[in-house]
């Protein structure tokens, strides 16, 4: 190991020569310093803040072999390809490779040819693999997406829990855990399970002020999606859906409306997923309708919005998913739809999971925090950041700040809802309760004789949407609870009974649809390049795609959009100038420099 005095200089040299960057981002140097001095580090950094460099740079400073634990094959493969393009000896052993390829990768690592070896926890945490690694001079272990240790139940990814063995199996090897999403409870879980408490936590701010936060009640998701996308023309976005079927529906819906839209889910072939991912990365104004796996580790800087057609699992998941928007620092938007059906579905998922009661309890608490965020009457960003332990002033860039909802005393309306829930036996869902309030003589109401109730039709003067909103707020406030084990029926909590008795008042937030102004849309869509540079940028992206196809790698692994934008602005005409472009390291300068310089020169002459 290098002497500590040389660490900082070595890290800066590798940062520039290998990765092509002039300076570290906040938190990176401290994380590297901890592991280079033999300690353990838990790094919680926002999406797009350069977490990977935190272990990649010290791995190269240390020499020898470093192990990287990653949950997704696609994510491992992308990082390995990116490192190889930067001239780094990286490899992966995973289930998508043949046995022969995996054996060859292991032999390269065993004889000292590999600097970083990527593996899934399932591949790493086997007795033969651990025994084989124990015979090698292992320098560093990095656990990426470390929140999985706390949030994925042991029945789903038991090997994540087994990673706790690493500190005893390799007691002298520093371990770094990294994640973009971890509240205080999750951080405590990781620190205890993975490190036994012996770890330095490096937690950066969670705020992404350029992302506008908006939430709307689900009232026909297809039309709401169409309206939103049409209000964001000529922009790339991600539409997250809960199921494979819905991703297909969303992509077909947008395509029929003239939007370039693709689907991405685990039910597709690997070839189809790769083709759609490459198209999303390289073709302008493309929308990807996807399940949650899409986007992890994807470095597309100009995603202008993330639209949640369904409720995400937790606030951590929501934060990670919206973090894929606006990575270039330009205005972006995160818009979420949610309804009672989403809440019921999420609670059923939790209760049906084959895991401990304690894990279920925590997941229910996390879901409750997400519902509270959705029903927030004041600044959403303050609510979101408070969940991660940060204080913030009102942001002025969320729907609650831009169009504040008036709070009114809705005790009488709440008592009417609670009374009907009680009188119908606390066994019916929101739709039935709203029908009773509205005086709808449905077949179900007639069969149950609920049209004979004194309160039948008592709420006919209000729109059904208003009643649904009040029910959601009563659920969010804990006054009504779902019978998840049954059929989603609503029941009164003790606090709900207190409202019904008149002992507690209920203040409600009126629903106000968010309207994005023409000025706001123009600002979000404003190009960061002038016309000439924008034309050059488009040409550079086509060149990047051609080079990627020849090398059979994802296009963004050649150069990121941010690097191409820097090229388009500066239009370098020689290798010296090209070396100054952000994201150009020694290997990429050698392999691609002259190709891009010639293309830039030819473009200028056309």
Model confidence at 479, pLDDT cuts 50, 70, 90, reads confident
Classify residue 449 as exposed, middle or buried by CB count within 10 Å of its CB (0-12, 13-18, 19+): exposed
Helices (H), 295-410: 315-322, 340-352, 357-374, 380-387, 399-402
The model's pTM: 0.66
CA gap 526, 531 in Å, rounded = 12
Res. 102: pLDDT tops 70: yes
CA gap 487, 605 in Å, rounded = 69
Q: Regarding the domain delimited by 528-605, which CATH topology (the fold level of the hierarchy) does it fall under? A: DNA polymerase; domain 1 (1.10.150)
C-alpha pair distances (Å), 360 with each of 151, 152, 479 = 10, 11, 21
**Mean pLDDT in residue range 74-99:** 89
Backbone angles phi, psi at 446, to 5 degrees: -65, -45
Res. 128: pLDDT tops 90: yes
List where CATH 3.40.50.300 sits in the chain.
4-203, 211-402
Query: Are the C-beta atoms of 389 and 378 separated by less than 8 Å?
Result: no
pLDDT at 4: 53
**Mean pLDDT in residue range 509-519:** 48
Query: Are the C-beta atoms of 566 and 581 separated by less than 8 Å?
Result: yes
CA gap 369, 512 in Å, rounded = 22
Classify residue 396 as exposed, middle or buried by CB count within 10 Å of its CB (0-12, 13-18, 19+): exposed
pLDDT at 487: 55
**Mean pLDDT in residue range 153-158:** 50
pLDDT at 292: 77
**Mean pLDDT in residue range 63-79:** 86
CATH superfamily, with its number, for domain 211-402: P-loop containing nucleotide triphosphate hydrolases (3.40.50.300)
Instruction: Give the residue with greater pLDDT, 7 vs 580.
Output: 580
List where CATH 1.10.10.10 sits in the chain.
407-509
Model confidence at 226, pLDDT cuts 50, 70, 90, reads very high
- Into which CATH architecture does domain 4-203 fall? 3-Layer(aba) Sandwich (3.40)
Classify residue 97 as exposed, middle or buried by CB count within 10 Å of its CB (0-12, 13-18, 19+): middle
Model confidence at 109, pLDDT cuts 50, 70, 90, reads very high
pLDDT cut 90: percent of the chain above it: 53
Res. 427: pLDDT tops 50: yes
Helix 357-374 with 340-352: angle, nearest 10 deg: 170
SS3 62: helix
| Least confident residue range of 1-10, 80-89, 169-178 | 1-10
pLDDT at 154: 43
CA gap 305, 282 in Å, rounded = 17
Res. 52: pLDDT tops 80: yes
Instruction: Give the residue with greater pLDDT, 339 vs 153.
Output: 339
Q: Regarding the domain delimited by 407-509, which CATH topology (the fold level of the hierarchy) does it fall under? A: Arc Repressor Mutant, subunit A (1.10.10)
Phi-psi region of 355 (alpha: psi -120 to 50; beta: other; left: phi over 0): beta
Indicate the average pLDDT of the chain: 86
| pLDDT, tens only, 390-423 | 888 889 999 988 988 777 889 999 999 999 999 9
Backbone angles phi, psi at 140, to 5 degrees: -160, 145
Query: Are the C-beta atoms of 564 and 557 separated by less than 8 Å?
Result: no
| pLDDT, tens only, 449-470 | 999 998 899 999 999 988 988 8
* DSSP secondary structure code for residue 334 in this structure: E
């Amino acid at each position: 190991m290098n002497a500590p005095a040389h660490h900082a200089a070595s890290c800066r040299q590798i940062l520039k020569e290998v990765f092509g960057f002039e300076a570290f981002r906040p938190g990176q140097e401290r994380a590297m310093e901890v592991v280079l001095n033999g300690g353990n580090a838990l790094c919680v950094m926002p999406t797009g803040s350069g977490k990977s460099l935190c272990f990649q740079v010290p791995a190269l400073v240390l020499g020898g072999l470093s192990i990287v634990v990653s949950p997704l094959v696609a994510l491992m493969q992308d990082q390995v390809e990116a490192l190889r393009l930067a001239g780094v000896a990286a490899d992966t052993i995973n289930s998508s490779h043949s046995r022969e390829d995996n054996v060859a990768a292991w032999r390269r690592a065993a004889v000292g040819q590999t600097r970083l070896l990527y593996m899934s926890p399932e591949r790493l945490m086997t007795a033969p693999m651990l025994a084989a690694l124990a015979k090698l001079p292992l320098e560093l272990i990095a656990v990426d997406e470390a929140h999985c240790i706390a949030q994925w139940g042991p029945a789903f990814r038991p090997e994540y829990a087994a990673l706790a063995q690493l500190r005893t199996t390799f007691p002298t090897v520093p371990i770094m855990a990294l994640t973009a999403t971890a509240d205080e409870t999750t951080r405590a879980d990781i620190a205890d399970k993975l490190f036994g408490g012996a770890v330095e936590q490096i937690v950066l701010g969670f705020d992404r002020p350029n992302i506008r936060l908006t939430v709307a009640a689900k009232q026909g998701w297809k039309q709401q999606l169409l309206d939103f996308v049409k209000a964001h023309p000529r922009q790339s976005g991600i539409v997250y859906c809960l199921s494979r079927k819905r991703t297909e529906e969303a992509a077909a819906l947008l395509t029929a409306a003239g939007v370039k839209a693709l689907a991405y889910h685990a039910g597709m072939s690997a070839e189809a997923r790769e083709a759609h991912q490459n198209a999303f990365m390289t073709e302008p104004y493309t929308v990807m309708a996807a399940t949650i796996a899409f986007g992890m580790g994807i470095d597309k800087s100009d995603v202008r919005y993330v639209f949640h057609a369904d409720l995400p699992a937790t606030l951590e998941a929501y934060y990670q998913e919206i973090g894929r928007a606006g990575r270039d620092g330009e205005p972006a938007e995160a818009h979420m739809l949610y309804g009672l059906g989403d809440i019921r579905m999420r609670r059923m998922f939790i209760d049906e999971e084959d895991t401990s009661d304690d894990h279920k309890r925590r997941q229910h608490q996390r879901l409750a925090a997400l519902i509270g965020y959705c029903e927030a009457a004041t600044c959403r960003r303050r609510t979101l950041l408070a969940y991660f332990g940060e204080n913030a002033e009102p942001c002025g860039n969320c729907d609650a700040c831009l169009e504040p909802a008036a709070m009114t005393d809705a005790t009488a309306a709440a008592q009417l809802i609670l009374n009907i829930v009680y009188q119908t036996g606390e066994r019916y869902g929101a739709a039935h309760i709203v029908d009773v309030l509205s005086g709808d003589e449905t077949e179900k109401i007639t069969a149950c004789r609920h049209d004979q109730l004194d309160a039948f039709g008592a709420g006919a003067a209000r729109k059904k949407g208003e009643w649904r909103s009040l029910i959601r707020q009563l659920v969010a406030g804990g006054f009504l609870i779902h019978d998840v084990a049954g059929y989603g029926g609503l029941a009164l909590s003790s606090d709900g009974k207190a409202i019904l008795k008149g002992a507690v008042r209920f203040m409600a937030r009126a629903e106000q649809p968010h309207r994005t102004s023409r000025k706001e849309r123009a600002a979000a869509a404003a190009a960061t390049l002038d016309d000439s540079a924008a034309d050059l940028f488009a040409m550079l992206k086509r060149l990047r795609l051609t080079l990627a196809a020849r090398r059979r790698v994802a296009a963004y692994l050649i150069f990121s959009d941010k690097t191409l934008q820097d090229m388009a602005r500066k239009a370098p005409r020689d290798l010296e100038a090209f070396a100054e472009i952000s994201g150009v390291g020694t290997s990429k300068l050698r392999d691609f420099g002259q190709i891009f310089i010639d293309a830039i020169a030819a473009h200028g002459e056309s």
